[in-house]
Amino acid sequence: MQLITKNSLKTIASLTFILLLNGCATKNADGSYPKSRYSYHYANKIKMANNQQTEKFHNPQMRSSTLDKTYNKLPTYPKISQNTTMLNQHIIQFALSMLGTPYKYGANGPYEYDCSSFTQLVFLKHGIFIPRVSRDQAKVGQEISRNNLQTGDLIFFNSKSSNEVKHVGIYIGNGKFVHNTTRTHQVDYGDLNAPYYSQHFKCARRVTGMNHYASR
């Protein structure tokens, strides 16, 4: 009797060890394991997926390529290459949907942006790639005079301490623009006719109505 008990215990221990190695679950007909929260293999798969998402979040290059699908839940409008008026309307609508998004210098999203990562995202969502920083954004597209501004144009400003481009916004018409600003620390409206912005207006560029890769 004692011998049988020992043998039984050994058998149970062996079976338990085998089950543990196989994820505490038998395989499906296709060789996969059941999606049980108690399955070691399923839990490990979820852990690996989470690690991949974390890597994407902390890797700027991976983050920028997966931003729309993974982190940014804002609506994406279709690319419209022929009707630039409609495209500009979509750009403004999307930019205004981000009002109140926090400002953080050097941030690339998905929850915080600076002035130029904000404008880059807005145009990228509509299939138009522009560089990351404002001084480089000011070199692409078509140069536009202040008197010929249209909705959707990028507008650039210098600062009290420098004549170089230091800030960027998107013109929305009637002398107004939308930008992510340190003044209110969020995406907000701006007035081009206000003394500071009128004095420090540097230039404007139009990147719509050309091609969907303004920097090329």
Q: Which of 41, 58, 90, 115 is catalytic?
A: 115
Q: Which of 179, 185, 200, 212 is catalytic?
A: 179
**What ranges make up the beta strands (E) of the chain?**
142-144, 154-157, 167-173, 176-181, 186-191, 201-206
Together in a domain, 135 and 169: yes
Cα radius of gyration (the chain):
27
DSSP state of 81: S
Together in a domain, 45 and 150: no
Q: Is 185 a catalytic residue?
A: no
Together in a domain, 93 and 156: yes
The dihedral region occupied by 161, where left means phi > 0, alpha psi between -120 and 50, and beta the remainder, is alpha
Q: Quick: pLDDT tens for 138-193.
A: 999 999 999 999 999 999 999 999 999 999 999 999 999 999 999 999 999 999 99
Together in a domain, 48 and 90: no
Together in a domain, 53 and 109: no
Together in a domain, 40 and 82: no
Together in a domain, 84 and 191: yes
Select the more confidently predicted residue: 26 or 102: 102
Q: Which residue has the tokens 């969502």?
A: 125
Q: Is 179 a catalytic residue?
A: yes
Together in a domain, 202 and 113: yes
State the pLDDT at residue 55. 46
Select the more confidently predicted residue: 143 or 19: 143
Together in a domain, 95 and 43: no
Together in a domain, 113 and 19: no
Which one-letter amino acid corresponds to residue 6? K
Work out the pLDDT band at 84, boundaries 50, 70, 90.
confident
**For residue 190, what are the β-bridge partners?**
177
Could you tell me the CA-to-CA distances from 117 to 37, 62, 78 in Å, in that order? 39, 15, 21
- Rounded distance, CA 103 to CA 185, Å? 5
Q: Which of 58, 167, 185, 212 is catalytic?
A: 167
Q: Quick: pLDDT tens for 7-17.
A: 666 666 665 55
Number of structural domains (the chain) is 2
Residue 212 is assigned to a structural domain of this protein: no
Tell me the percentage of the chain whose pLDDT exceeds 90.
55
Together in a domain, 82 and 150: yes
Q: Quick: pLDDT tens for 65-82.
A: 434 443 344 444 444 444
Provide the mean pLDDT of the chain: 75
Which range marks the domain in which residue 6 is found? 2-28+36-58
